[in-house]
Amino acid sequence: MLNKVILIGRLTRDPELRYTSQGTAVCNFALAVERDYKNSNGERDVDFIDVTVWRKQAETCANHLGKGRLVAVEGRMQIDTWKDDNGTNRKSPKVVARDVSFLDWPNDKQGNSGNNNQKKEEIDVPF
């Protein structure tokens, strides 16, 4: 049997980092992922997918990711089941990440990306 999910999308909100009672880090965020086809209006529909990351990688995501960042997530699908206040069974799908890859660079305070595409000052060097 195989349960493997690979997604590329942008975070819809800043990650939320928590710790279990045993001290294990867990980070939650949601990804906006475009579908690979266009609808009748010529636009791509978007799915919003909840992602959970555990342990050291959870702390790394919480410390370095933010709303709008582009990431690739590889993991497994999990369906959480619970009863709501009315006693109705509810299900909620999410991806439990095994690996999160950062696909872009964060913006610094001046609005320049951190990928060294900043303007370089030219100076005259006498020969």
- For the chain, what is the HEC assignment? CCCCEEEEEEECCCCEEEECCCCCEEEEEEEEEEEEEECCCCCEEEEEEEEEEEHHHHHHHHHHCCCCCEEEEEEEEEEEEEECCCCCEEEEEEEEEEEEEECCCCECCCCCECCCCCCCCCCCCCC
Which residues have C-beta within 8 Å of that of residue 13, sequence separation ≥ 6? 29, 30, 67
Which residues, listed in sequence order, are joined to residue 81 by a DSSP beta bridge? 91
Q: Residue count of the chain, please give it.
A: 127
pLDDT in tens, 4-28: 999 999 999 999 999 999 999 999 9
pLDDT value at residue 115: 38
Q: Write the pLDDT tens digit of every residue in 64-85.
A: 999 999 999 999 999 999 899 9
Q: Show the domains of the chain with their CATH numbers.
A: 5-36+43-102 (2.40.50.140)
Residue-wise pLDDT tens digits, 88-115: 999 999 999 999 999 998 775 444 443 3
pLDDT tier, 126 (very low <50, low <70, confident <90, very high otherwise):
very low
pTM for the full predicted model: 0.78
Measured CA to CA, the distance from residue 28 to residue 15 in angstroms comes to 6
What's the gap between Cα 27 and its chain centre?
A: 10
- Max CA pair span of the chain: 83
